[in-house]
Amino acid sequence: MIYTLFYSPGSAAMVVRILLDEIGAKYELIEVPISKTEPRDPAHLAHNPNGWVPALAWDGGSLYEAAAITVYLCDRYPEAGLGPAPSDSTRPLFLQTLVYFSNTVQTAFQQYYYPERFAEHSETHAGTQKQACRRLRDVWQVVDAQIGDNSWVLGSTFSALDIYMHMLTTWLKPQAGHPDIYELPNVARIAAKVANRPRVDHAYTE
């Protein structure tokens, strides 16, 4: 099977690209425009009507939402060891954290990067972004406390959560008022280990 990944460098599609690499799956990357001003590629819209990346397509199916694709790939390729099986004792924490990343941490980033989706008038956008910075600090603190002294997000086992979290840290802009990763020592420790993985390094430095 060959997957098609609708993709943009540095975006939420990075986790999917890296998971495909870690799995050893065959895929083609289709780089699509995602800026606020550019029209969307119709082939991309056919798989995600929102015009967001990632969208993953294969012969006979497709899926969007980074967290959903993460669960799909982990379950579809259990031999890659990227996520716990449904019967595993760490599965609840895996699902909870993945949904928290997608639903809460990513939403706080969206409020910063797309303030016009959260506040009607342009003169209120700066205030919306300031509020997003506070929210980012709060929600990242929860992640850092959850990790504590653990080696990986899930505890003692590396998983797709570590790759997902590393991707989220690449969106932090301390110069814009986001928390600095060094305020989040447990997050920083794991993100640094993930960044050193050859497939992650390759995807981000290409």
Ligand X SMILES: N[C@@H](CCC(=O)N[C@@H](CS)C(=O)NCC(=O)O)C(=O)O
Nearer to ligand X, 79 or 117 (CB): 117
Provide the minimum distance between the beta carbon of 99 and ligand X in the complex, in angstroms, as a whole number: 11
Positions in 25-54 near ligand X (CB under 6 A): 34, 51-54
Positions in 112-151 near ligand X (CB under 6 A): none
Nearer to ligand X, 27 or 52 (CB): 52
Percent helix, strand and coil across the chain, each rounded to 5?
Answer: 55, 10, 35
CA distances from residue 201 to 26, 44, 58, 191, 196 in whole angstroms, order as listed: 19, 26, 26, 12, 6
Site map 65..104 versus ligand X, x via CB under 6 A: xx-----------------------------------x--
Question: Which residue, chain included where needed, has tokens 């199916």?
Answer: 61
End-to-end CA distance of the chain: 25
DSSP 124: G
Provide the minimum distance between the beta carbon of 34 and ligand X in the complex, in angstroms, as a whole number: 4
Q: Which residues lie near ligand X (CB under 6 A)? A: 11-12, 34, 51-54, 65-66, 102, 106
